[in-house]
Homo-oligomer: A and B are copies of this chain.
Amino acid sequence: MLESLREQVLEANLEIVRRGLVLYTFGNASGIDREQGLVAIKPSGVPYESMKPSDMVLTDLDGKIVEGSLRPSSDLATHLFLYREFPTIGGVVHTHSEFATAWAQAGRSIPSFGTTHADYFYGPVPVTDELNAEEIGGDYVLNTGVAIARRFREQNLDPDAVPAVLVAGHAPFAWGKTPAAAAYHAVVLEAVARMAFYTVTLNAEGAGISQALQDRHYFRKHGAKATYGQ
């Protein structure tokens, strides 16, 4: 079971590389076994080409290393916080993919400009507040997760319906039921961010879809009445 988790996490890490979301060793994916309360995550600063399932580091939800000889990703504390805060998710992916990162650097949430967005994200992909000096000087990586959770609580967002966020001045996090779903959402987010960039350049004011179209597309792919796929 943990062997399968390690393989899924490795595969999610490789998928974001294959899709062009990763430069060098940037980015990391993790997955959780909820029953055992164990998280598998990419090791820090190891090249993707040579990574094996056994390189994935196993920790508990407090970050104690349970298995693995390598140091875990330096973003571990954010991943763990998200698993504790969002009990329904099974995988987390962090990248510095270029267009999503640009929106994060600009401090702007990504509006729902069309059905590609609406198919996967129910409403805008939010951006956190900037972390203040205290949060940065303190437990910074943990506080990144805190800022994400705060944004979701403030806007009453459902992490299953909005499976991604932009951390202001930093980059996106995405998640999903599984590590594969988290990677998939990270890839779609980058495409949506790219098209949204072009869209605001073409129409700075007027773009955006109706609530009716948002609903129609989102619920075509999600929930009890979904009709997409086999």
Please list the residues of chain A having a beta carbon within 8 angstroms of any beta carbon in chain B: 23-24, 26, 43-46, 70-71, 74, 96, 98-99, 101-108, 113-116, 130-133, 136-137, 140, 169-171, 184, 187-188, 191, 194-203, 206-210, 212-213, 215-216, 220, 227-230
Contact = CB atoms under 8 A, between A and B. Distances in A.
Nearest to A199: B105
Given A70-B230, A136-B215, 5 more contacts: A74-B227, A105-B113, A105-B196, A106-B113, A108-B202
21 contacts: A23-B187, A43-B230, A44-B228, A44-B229, A46-B230, A70-B230, A74-B227, A74-B228, A98-B194, A98-B198, A102-B198, A105-B203, A106-B198, A106-B203, A108-B202, A116-B171, A130-B210, A140-B216, A170-B213, A197-B198, A197-B202
Contacts of A103: 202
A23 B188 contact: yes
B212 A133 contact: yes
B108 A114 contact: no
A199 B106 contact: yes
A27 to B, nearest CB: 11
A115 B216 contact: no
A178 B131 CA distance: 35
A196 B107 CA distance: 13
A160 to B, nearest CB: 19
A215 to B, nearest CB: 8
A197 B59 CA distance: 38
B107 A207 contact: yes
Contact of A195 (B24, B70, B101, B137): B101
Contacts of A213: 130-131, 136, 169-170
A107 B208 CA distance: 9
A171 to B, nearest CB: 7
A200 to B, nearest CB: 7
A136 B216 contact: yes
Nearest to A169: B209
A136 B201 CA distance: 27
A186 to B, nearest CB: 12
Top 6 A-B residue pairs of the complex, sorted by shortest distance between their CB atoms: A45-B229, A102-B198, A106-B203, A106-B202, A105-B114, A133-B212
